[in-house]
Amino acid sequence: MAKKFQREVLIALADTHGGHRLGLLNPETVFIEYEPDEEGKLIEYEEPAYLNPAQEWLWKHYTHDIEEAFKLAGRDPVTVIVDGDITNGNKYAVADRSYVHLGNQVIIAADNLDPILRHKKQLKALRLVWGTDSHEGGDRSATTIVHRIIKAENKGLDLKSYGHGLMNLGGVWIDFAHHGSSPGIRHHTEGNAMRWEIGSELDGSAADGDPLVHLYIRAHFHRRSQVSLTRFYNDVPHTAHGIILPPYQLLTHFARQVVKSPRRSRVGLAAVEIINKEIYKINWFVRSRENRVREIL
Ligand SMILES: [Fe+2]
Ligand SMILES: [Fe+2]
């Protein structure tokens, strides 16, 4: 008998900022160093990664979210998009008290994908998206090297990395890139800019004869947002959703300044269910955390 439902799950996450002291760090990561001893014999030694309390909190939720998303998928195929800023880069690493060595940041970023690759038999595809230059070695080197490490360790995995994708998954068109509209600076204007962007992109796609996208995925702002918009083309309604992904990094000193001291930080991922060629549901595995020090004197 033919299968009644065609179902797929897309997991989208971003901004893991491997190497930053408030970024994602796999507790199993081990750095290997080489130094000669007093007689010139090469000594190889291991330096295990140390997780601070913030990183322990991030890792607990990240692994929980990945497991919950795969549980949601059941036996259906899963595609994963890692939407940029896979490392933090070394531009401000000294000031941030982070791992300065870009090589070690890349190792962290590759190890951070372990909880996903544990399910590789179920993985239809893994896409690594280029992020912000200053976070990826200035020339997106970090993503290029992580790609090579993952490819070498996972033969047969459908793995690609690029800057901007247009993917047809289970019959729906998904447009994804790291950079895009801001989620907005006020609570009551949240999503406005993205709604305008989606409308413009749909109209432009219709004019150019490009596919009408069903889901736009963006990141970079370290904030969670979701909007939907319906347009009519030749009297046929077309609904597109837009999501901005939260990070798996806590608020840095620099970010607090740029985004004007936000009260809370959210971390997590989106798991999108696609059923019978339609976006059925966008599930969020997200929680927030206080950025203020609360005290009563
Ligand atoms: Fe970022
Ligand atoms: Fe970014």
Residues with CB under 5 A from ligand 2 (ion): 85, 131-132, 220
- The CATH class for the domain spanning 7-290 reads alpha beta
**C-beta atoms surrounding 117 within 10 Å:** 17
Relative to the alpha carbon of 86, which ligand is closest?
1
Alpha-helical segments (H) within 2-52? none
Give, for all 297 residues of the chain, the pLDDT tens digit: 566 789 999 999 999 999 999 999 999 999 999 999 999 999 999 999 999 999 999 999 999 999 999 999 999 999 999 999 999 998 888 888 888 899 999 999 999 999 999 999 999 999 999 999 999 988 899 999 999 999 999 999 999 999 999 999 999 999 999 999 999 888 899 999 999 999 999 999 999 999 999 999 999 999 999 999 999 999 999 999 999 999 999 999 888 998 889 999 999 999 999 999 999 999 999 999 999 999 999
Q: Count the neighbouring beta carbons within 10 Å of the beta carbon of residue 176.
A: 27
Cβ contact 102:89 at 8 Å:
yes
Residues surrounding ion ligand 1 at CB below 5 Å: 15, 85
> Cα of 30 to ligand 1 centre, how many Å?
24
The alpha carbon of 17 and the centre of ligand 1 are apart by a number of angstroms equal to 7
The ligand minimizing its distance to the Cα of 15 is 1
Report the separation in Å between the CA atom of 245 and the middle of ligand 1, taken as the mean of its atom positions. Answer: 10
Residue 203 sits at the vertex; the CA angle it makes with 80 and 180, to the nearest 5 degrees, is: 45
Contact 243, 264 (CB under 8 A): no
Predicted local distance difference test score (pLDDT) of residue 5: 87
DSSP string, 150-170: HHHHSTT--EEEESEEEEEET
pTM value?
A: 0.96
Task: Give the total residue count for the chain.
Answer: 297
